[in-house]
Amino acid sequence: MIRVRDVAIQYGRGEDAVHAVDGISFALEPGDSLALIGTSGCGKSTLLFAIAGLLAPQAGTIEIGKEPIAGPRRDVALILQNAGLLPWKTVWQNANLSLLLGKEYPRRTAAAVLDELGLTDVRERFPAELSEGMKRRVGIARALSTSPSVMLMDEPLASLDTLTKERIQDLFLELWLQRRFSLLLVTHDIEEAAFLGQRIAVLTQRPARIKRTVENPGMGAVDYRGSMEFQRVVATLREALEA
């Protein structure tokens, strides 16, 4: 379980301090998914980086299980907006990078994950030779190769065209349904939040606070995008963001 209690984060000190997050609290049960949605620059990525152990909050606590976050954890994977690929390494080397840096052999290998995501044929290519959709798949492969119990996603499909974005969303939903890792997604895309979040927390402008949580019980259903329930959730989120 992820527990976030009264977390506040700021950059700088004194009059020049930028308050990014102010008093956010929520809990995410093992195997569940939560989307954090808000406008660009509201502080949602800052909160995600704190959960990843890359930032320390000035106030409040963040726990995974019963352990306070004290830095990056092996069982927590983070997928960045630009996939975070190293341009001088091949697809195989990028997907295998987290394994080379680890101390324990993972339950899943990079080779198996590449095959599962349809990347085996391009394993010797470099990122510059890939489409944007392929790059995002490599980022997903690298995250999955360590068999994480928690998956953090920071607007991972931003800037993709609609069809490519929906195909990768479908792929990620399938992976989540199979593995049921805890999923925490940060996005400003209303339909993405409705498609991948069992619950969606709507954030205020900076500093980020939760102003509304929307339940999304239909998430994961067959053909959910075309359902009236999906459209209802999308409309509810749009209303909450505009309020």
Whichever domain contains 49, its CATH number is 3.40.50.300
Does one domain contain both 110 and 123? yes
Q: Of 115, 174, 165, 169, which is closest to residue 145 (Cα–Cα)? A: 115
User: pLDDT grade, residue 136 (50/70/90)?
Assistant: confident
Least Cα distance to 56 among 40, 43, 69, 66 occurs for 69
Residues 98, 207, single domain; the answer is no
Residue 180 domain-assigned (yes or no)? yes
- Domain membership of residue 208 (yes or no) is yes
CB neighbours of 87 closer than 8 A, spacing ≥ 6?
126, 127, 128
> Do residues 239 and 215 share a domain?
yes
**184-214 pLDDT per residue, tens:** 999 989 999 999 999 999 999 888 999 999 9
Instruction: Domain of residue 115: give its range.
Output: 87-148
Work out whether the CA dihedral 72, 78, 81, 84 comes out positive or negative. Answer: positive
Nearest in space to 4 (alpha carbons), one of 61, 52, 89, 71:
61
Any residues with CB less than 8 A from the CB of 146 and at least 6 apart, and which? Answer: 74, 75, 77, 98, 99, 102, 106, 108
Residue 207, preceding bond cis, omega within 30 degrees?
yes
Task: Kindly state whether residue 162 falls inside one of the protein's structural domains.
Answer: yes
Q: Say what the pLDDT of residue 107 is.
A: 46
pLDDT at 25: 95
More confident site: 82 or 23: 23
- The number of folded domains in the chain is 2
- pLDDT score recorded for residue 47: 92
- CB 107, CB 147: distance < 8 Å: yes
Residue 105's SS3 state is coil
Residue with tokens 């963040």: 62
Going by pLDDT thresholds of 50, 70 and 90, the confidence category of residue 98 is: low
Q: 155 forms bridges with which residues in the sheet?
A: none
- 155 in the same domain as 47: yes
Measured between alpha carbons, how far is 192 from 20 in angstroms, rounded to an integer?
Answer: 23
Domain for residue 80, yes or no?
A: no
Three-state secondary structure call for residue 56: coil
* Predicted local confidence at residue 106, as pLDDT: 47
Residue 61 within a domain = no
- 239 lies in the same domain as 174: yes
Do 111 and 198 fall into the same domain?
A: no
Model confidence at 153: pLDDT above 80: yes
Smallest CA-to-CA distance from 46 within 4, 14, 84 is with 4
Domain edge (last residue) among 148, 165, 180: 148
Cβ distance 167 to 135 under 8 Å? no
User: Is 171 within 8 Å of 179 (Cβ atoms)?
Assistant: no
- Residues 154 and 38 reside in one and the same domain: yes
